[in-house]
């Protein structure tokens, strides 16, 4: 906005746009069954375009984890090229996921000039499909290589589906890949996911063999991340330097109405937002992403999308795609999609609840308790291993969700506290308590609920309630890791979960293998787990102050900030298990600590720069203009012998001084050790908060026509 454009003008323009719908989507014009996966080189496409022998070899790698036979690469590459070009692709890219947490890609053309200089020849060789070589010098490595050591390799991940990304001007073939250095160290998020899945498969099969299973297919960790997000009109977004560059508002007074009435949660979705959701689902379906659920979340302007469960590796890639596609589709409807964990102070932040489980095609979901879990020894062993893992490595789980953004959300009465605990529900908690006391003999039944209205059916009632305050909750046949931030890649949390549960399964298998009495051995190891690790189980209110005190008495860690948590990535216990199961080496773990610490400081530094700039160039000038208006009004009234309440001038003048002092303190703090996470958390962030407090007080009294920023009320409620 400029000095001649009032915020009322902007609001009027946006209000007109909010009633319009761009290119509405009508699913009635196309069958979703035909649409789903149409832009993916999926199994059906592979079976149709490849020889039976090549298809069988690829399927073996995808389903059983057998090593990829490089001899099939040329045939696959040629079929993939032909399929992509039929869909209009002229270029391909190896998509990879560096330690930035975002998606990276370098595009290459299918076409080479012909020998006559007048024609172009399309080609795509197997060697090119299998391996690429992007410049690795500018990606974060955390000391794994020097800046001048630029060579990096991408390696085709057969287990993740290649896809077509559409653009208004054309399409591109996208090939998911791992990204490693010349020495083979993982420079990305994908490689550790694949290694952790291989490790947990091996240990889970040992448990299944102990229970007498002979035909055991590959055990895969599965994930279903629920993505929360905010939608803000693009006009408001572009008028807020803090949203544009930091993803969250650094100043902003509390609106007259927030989320006090709980009326937004599951409320009727506004038409413009619904149009965005329809179009988003359509684009995700084309990419084979099983979008399932959509609804209004708790805070005004906040929404959620959730997929069906997939293999953890595919779910990780798809989650990155979801974030990319959400932003693209939002822009089409004049929205900005905000994925920051806390874009608006005083309102619920956004998480990415990662539902996690284990299973395979022969034994099914290994975390399904059945109707009588006390009799389901196999389930109890897997669940017990998870409880032990979370208890032993709670600090690591806190560390892998640590970020500058998520620190504003965790423990803020809309998200789990930083204390990692496990919620089991009444039924399972009772079963494990029985085991601790000598042996489980019964399971609390679920029963039936009669609502008391004749026209309504009786409802099957679960044996236990749910708990939204728990960071790690059992929810029927899976665990839900609720502490993950909305802007994060889910790779880190999945790598941690897979690896720590792998260690626990290894431990339990070692105790059970060769036992003369398997049932007695199971009782003994589960009783031991409950005795040593039962303190991590908590079914109460995680928001309460009483829980914080009780958790301290139980000895549970409470790592409140990222600087507290991140060093746990390189603790001796973590390094030991990550190296033992060949997921990450000590140097690779140390690189993650360095990168994530640098990113934390960088985020805080950007915000400090923004807060200073906005305070100096937007808020302070607006306050001075108001002071000038007050002074002129006072002089005019005095000239005609009328009194003017000087207390108003004094109040505004005092707040201007408060703002100026806060800005000076922030600049002073920001000139210090800005590359130290602890310093950023204890010096820079508190100084930024003082700037915010002074600014928000001024916003409450400066006239609307002078205030330079869109307000919370406008951004949250105009859709």
- 592 shares its domain with 445: yes
pLDDT band of 3, cuts 50, 70, 90: very low
List pLDDT tens digits, range 404-419: 999 999 987 678 889 9
Report d(CA 663, CA 240) in Å as an integer: 19
Residue 492 lies in a domain: yes
The confidence score (pLDDT) of residue 49 equals 95
Residue 653 lies in a domain: yes
Domain extent at residue 288:
197-600
Strand partners, 152: 181
Residue 20: pLDDT over 70: no
- 648 shares its domain with 695: yes
The confidence score (pLDDT) of residue 275 equals 93
- 402 shares its domain with 310: yes
Residue 3 lies in a domain: no
- 254 shares its domain with 318: yes
CB contact at 8 A, 446 and 460:
yes
More confident of the two residues 16 and 701: 701
CA 427-430-431 angle, to 5 degrees, is 85
Residue 269: pLDDT over 50: yes
Residue 20 lies in a domain: no
The confidence score (pLDDT) of residue 117 equals 59
Residue 23: pLDDT over 80: no
DSSP H helices, 87-189, are: 126-130
List pLDDT tens digits, range 367-378: 999 989 999 999
List pLDDT tens digits, range 27-83: 666 777 789 999 999 999 999 999 999 999 999 888 888 888 888 999 999 999 999
Residue 119: pLDDT over 60: no
Rounded mean pLDDT, 298-323: 96
351 contacts: CB under 8 Å, gap ≥ 6: 226, 228, 341, 409, 415, 482, 483, 484, 485, 486
Q: Indicate the number of domains in the chain.
A: 3
Residue 682: pLDDT over 80: yes
User: What 8-state DSSP symbol labels residue 618?
Assistant: I
The confidence score (pLDDT) of residue 24 equals 59
CATH number of the CATH domain containing 171: 3.10.20.70
Report d(CA 333, CA 331) in Å as an integer: 5
- 172 shares its domain with 203: no
Tell me the CA distances in angstroms from 215 to 54, 58, 550, one per residue in order. Answer: 25, 21, 46
For residue 139, give the nearest of 176, 173, 174, 185 by alpha carbon: 185
Mean pLDDT of all residues belonging to the chain:
91
**Rounded (10°) CA dihedral 396, 399, 400, 402:** 170
**Rounded (10°) CA dihedral 266, 270, 276, 281:** 40
581 contacts: CB under 8 Å, gap ≥ 6: 195, 196, 199, 499, 502, 503, 506
Which of 160, 188, 216 terminates a domain? The answer is 188
pLDDT band of 714, cuts 50, 70, 90: very high
Report d(CA 133, CA 127) in Å as an integer: 11
Both tokens assigned to 489: 């890649």
Could you tell me if residue 611 is left (phi over 0), alpha (psi between -120 and 50 degrees) or otherwise beta? alpha
- 527 shares its domain with 427: yes
Rounded mean pLDDT, 139-159: 84
CA 290 to chain centroid: 17
Which of 539, 573, 600 terminates a domain? The answer is 600
Residue 255: pLDDT over 60: yes
- 69 shares its domain with 209: no
- 75 shares its domain with 54: yes
DSSP H helices, 251-291, are: 271-286
Residue 6 lies in a domain: no
Report d(CA 421, CA 419) in Å as an integer: 6
Residue 13 lies in a domain: no
Residue 383 lies in a domain: yes
Which of 600, 621, 643 terminates a domain? The answer is 600
CA atoms in the 13 A half-sphere facing the CB of 257: 10
DSSP H helices, 295-376, are: 312-332
Residue 120: pLDDT over 60: no
- What percent of the chain has pLDDT above 70? 93
Residue 8 lies in a domain: no
List pLDDT tens digits, range 436-489: 998 888 888 877 767 777 677 777 767 667 778 899 999 989 999 999 999 999
Q: Where are the beta strands (DSSP E) in 308-390?
A: 310-311, 335-338, 352-360, 364-365
Report d(CA 387, CA 368) in Å as an integer: 15
- 633 shares its domain with 565: no
The confidence score (pLDDT) of residue 382 equals 98
Both tokens assigned to 462: 């679960």
The confidence score (pLDDT) of residue 387 equals 98
List pLDDT tens digits, range 355-367: 999 999 999 999 9
CATH number of the CATH domain containing 202: 3.30.590.10
- 419 shares its domain with 275: yes
- 175 shares its domain with 264: no
- 371 shares its domain with 476: yes
């Amino acid at each position: 906005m400029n000095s001649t454009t009032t915020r009322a003008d902007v609001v009027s323009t946006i209000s007109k746009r909010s009633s319009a719908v761009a290119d509405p989507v009508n699913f009635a014009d196309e069958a979703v069954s035909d649409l789903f996966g149409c832009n993916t080189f999926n199994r059906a496409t592979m079976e149709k375009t490849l020889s039976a022998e090549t298809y069988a070899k690829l399927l073996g790698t995808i389903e059983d984890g057998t090593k990829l036979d490089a001899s099939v690469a040329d045939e696959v590459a040629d079929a993939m090229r032909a399929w992509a070009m039929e869909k209009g692709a002229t270029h391909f890219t190896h998509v990879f996921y560096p330690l930035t947490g975002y998606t990276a890609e370098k595009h290459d053309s299918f076409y080479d000039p012909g020998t006559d200089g007048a024609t172009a020849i399309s080609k795509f060789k197997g060697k090119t499909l299998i391996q690429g070589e992007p410049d690795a010098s500018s990606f974060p490595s955390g000391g794994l290589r020097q800046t001048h050591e630029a060579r990096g390799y991408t390696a085709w991940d057969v287990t993740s589906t290649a896809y077509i990304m559409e653009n208004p001007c054309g399409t591109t073939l996208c090939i998911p890949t791992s990204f490693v250095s010349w020495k083979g160290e993982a420079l990305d998020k994908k490689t550790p996911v694949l290694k952790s899945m291989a490790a947990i498969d091996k240990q889970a099969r040992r448990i299944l063999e102990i229970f007498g299973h002979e035909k055991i297919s590959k055990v895969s960790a599965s994930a279903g991340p629920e993505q929360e997000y905010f939608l803000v009109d693009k006009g408001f977004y572009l008028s807020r330097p803090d949203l544009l560059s930091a993803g969250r508002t650094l100043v902003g007074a509390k609106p007259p109405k927030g989320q006090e009435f709980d009326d937004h949660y599951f409320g009727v979705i506004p038409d413009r937002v619904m149009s965005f959701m329809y179009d988003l689902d359509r684009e995700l379906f084309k990419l084979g992403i099983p979008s399932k659920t959509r609804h209004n979340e708790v805070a005004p302007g906040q929404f959620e999308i959730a997929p069906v469960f997939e293999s953890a590796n595919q779910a990780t890639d798809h989650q990155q795609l979801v974030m990319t596609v959400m932003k693209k589709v939002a822009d089409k409807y004049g929205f900005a999609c905000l994925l920051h964990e806390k874009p608006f102070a005083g309102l619920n932040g956004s998480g990415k609840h990662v539902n996690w489980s284990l299973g395979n095609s022969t034994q099914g979901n290994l975390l399904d308790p059945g109707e009588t879990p006390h009799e389901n020894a196999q389930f109890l062993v897997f669940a017990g291993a998870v409880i032990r893992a979370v208890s032993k490595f709670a600090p690591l789980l806190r560390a892998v969700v640590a970020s500058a953004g998520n620190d504003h959300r965790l423990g803020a009465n809309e998200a789990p506290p930083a204390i990692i605990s496990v919620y089991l529900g009444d039924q399972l908690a009772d079963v494990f308590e029985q085991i601790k006391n000598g042996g489980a003999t019964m399971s609390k039944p679920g029963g039936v609920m009669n609502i008391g209205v004749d026209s309504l059916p009786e409802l099957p009632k679960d044996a236990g309630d749910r708990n939204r305050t728990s960071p790690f909750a059992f929810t029927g046949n899976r665990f839900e890791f609720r502490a993950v931030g909305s802007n994060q890649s889910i790779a880190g949390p999945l790598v941690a979960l897979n690896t720590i549960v792998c260690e626990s399964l290894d431990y339990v298998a070692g105790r059970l293998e060769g036992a003369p009495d398997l049932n007695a051995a199971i009782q003994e190891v589960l009783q031991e787990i409950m005795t040593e690790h039962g303190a991590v189980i908590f079914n109460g209110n995680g928001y309460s102050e009483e829980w914080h005190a009780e958790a301290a008495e139980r000895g549970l860690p409470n790592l409140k900030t990222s600087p507290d948590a991140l060093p746990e990535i390189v603790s001796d216990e973590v390094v030991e298990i990550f190296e033992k199961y060949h997921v990450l080496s000590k140097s690779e773990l140390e690189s993650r600590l360095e990168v994530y610490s640098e990113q934390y400081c960088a985020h805080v530094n950007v915000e400090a720069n923004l807060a200073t700039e906005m305070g100096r160039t937007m808020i302070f000038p607006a306050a001075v203009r108001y002071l000038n208006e007050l002074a002129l009004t006072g002089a005019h009234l005095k000239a005609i012998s009328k009194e003017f309440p000087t207390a108003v001038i004094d109040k505004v003048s005092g707040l201007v001084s408060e703002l100026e002092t806060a800005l000076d303190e922030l600049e002073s703090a920001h000139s210090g050790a800005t590359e130290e996470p602890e310093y950023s958390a204890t010096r820079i962030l508190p100084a930024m908060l003082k700037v915010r407090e002074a600014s928000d007080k001024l916003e409450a009294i400066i006239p609307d026509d002078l205030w330079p920023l869109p307000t919370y009320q406008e951004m949250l409620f105009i859709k």
